[in-house]
């Protein structure tokens, strides 16, 4: 008799738990919120003007933000339902694998090493490694001219090492903690050039405080195919994102986002890449 009472109580608890699960909220990576609305968490950069930036008033701006917002809309989410989450470069694969985000749009270059861990939709932008110089400096006309020049990049940057090892071995590499420090050094003539992806450089140069002070050299020292990172094997989501990217290009929203975020730097962007066409 006592055993039957315990079993009945347990069954009641189990039924209550199942009911709560059905009626309550799932996580916000791409499901329903506690108030019944759909929510989605998207990984972005928050410290790259023109690409992904969180402004002092808490808003998010940049080309990647515009792309991510467009994709989310096509997936059925309103802008108010998006939770943008900072994903630093070193944490992107982990964030996807762990399910912290539904997808990532964060100047995320497609390469073979990353494809072992995650899948990519896109690409949605073909960027190139380039350098930024002062607008009034005519002395750097080719990568070789960086020899004996002071070249700035962020500590641990592969871009700077690429220049140092392959293009201008005598360049004086100056590593700073962030791109904004490099820009200040460039403006004050402490360094002669800053190197990273041209899209990132254009984003910084487009900022109001820097407009007209810098120019991109246009060297195209590497190909960086920006893709949307997502969980490996999620073919359905990949197709939906690719369809959204195709629509974004066809309806003119892609061009509009490029001009809005990079235009003031006179960024000569490549045409929108075709889905699946990764340029080596």
User: What is the pLDDT, as a whole number, of residue 32?
Assistant: 52
pLDDT more than 90, % of the chain: 73
User: What is the pLDDT, as a whole number, of residue 18?
Assistant: 39
∠ Cα 155 161 165 (to 5°): 155
User: What is the pLDDT, as a whole number, of residue 161?
Assistant: 82
Give yes or no for a cis peptide into 123 (omega within 30° of 0). yes
Where in the chain is CATH 3.40.190.10?
31-127+224-265, 128-216
User: What is the pLDDT, as a whole number, of residue 259?
Assistant: 94
User: What is the pLDDT, as a whole number, of residue 235?
Assistant: 98
User: What is the pLDDT, as a whole number, of residue 37?
Assistant: 61
Q: Is 104 helix (H, G, I), strand (E, B) or coil?
A: strand
Residues of the chain with pLDDT under 50: 1-28, 33-36
User: What is the pLDDT, as a whole number, of residue 31?
Assistant: 60
- Which top CATH class is 128-216? alpha beta
User: What is the pLDDT, as a whole number, of residue 226?
Assistant: 97
Just give the CATH number of 31-127+224-265: 3.40.190.10
């Amino acid at each position: 008799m006592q055993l039957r009472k315990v079993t009945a109580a347990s069954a009641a608890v189990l039924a209550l738990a199942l009911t709560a699960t059905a009626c309550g909220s799932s996580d916000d990576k791409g499901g329903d919120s506690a108030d019944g609305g759909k929510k989605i968490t998207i990984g972005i950069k928050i410290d790259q003007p023109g690409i992904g930036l969180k402004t002092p008033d808490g808003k998010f701006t940049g080309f990647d933000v515009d792309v991510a917002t467009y994709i989310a809309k096509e997936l059925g989410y309103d802008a108010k339902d998006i939770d943008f989450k900072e994903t630093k470069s070193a944490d992107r694969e982990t964030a996807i694998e762990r399910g912290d985000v539904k997808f990532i749009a964060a100047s995320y270059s497609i390469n073979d090493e990353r494809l072992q861990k995650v899948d990519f939709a896109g690409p949605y932008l073909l960027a190139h490694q380039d350098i930024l110089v002062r607008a009034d400096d005519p002395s750097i006309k080719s990568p070789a001219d960086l020899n004996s020049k002071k070249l700035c990049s962020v500590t641990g940057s592969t871009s700077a090492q690429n220049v140092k090892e392959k293009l201008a071995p005598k360049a004086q590499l100056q590593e700073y903690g962030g791109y904004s420090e490099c820009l200040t050094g460039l403006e004050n003539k402490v360094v002669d050039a800053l190197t990273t992806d041209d899209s990132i450089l254009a984003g910084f140069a487009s900022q109001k405080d820097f407009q007209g002070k810098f120019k991109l050299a246009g060297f195209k020292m590497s190909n960086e195919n920006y893709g949307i990172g997502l969980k490996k094997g999620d073919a359905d989501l990949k197709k939906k994102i690719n369809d959204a990217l195709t629509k974004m290009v066809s309806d003119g929203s892609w061009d509009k986002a490029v001009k809005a975020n990079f235009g003031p730097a006179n960024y000569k962007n490549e045409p929108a890449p075709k889905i699946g066409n990764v340029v080596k």
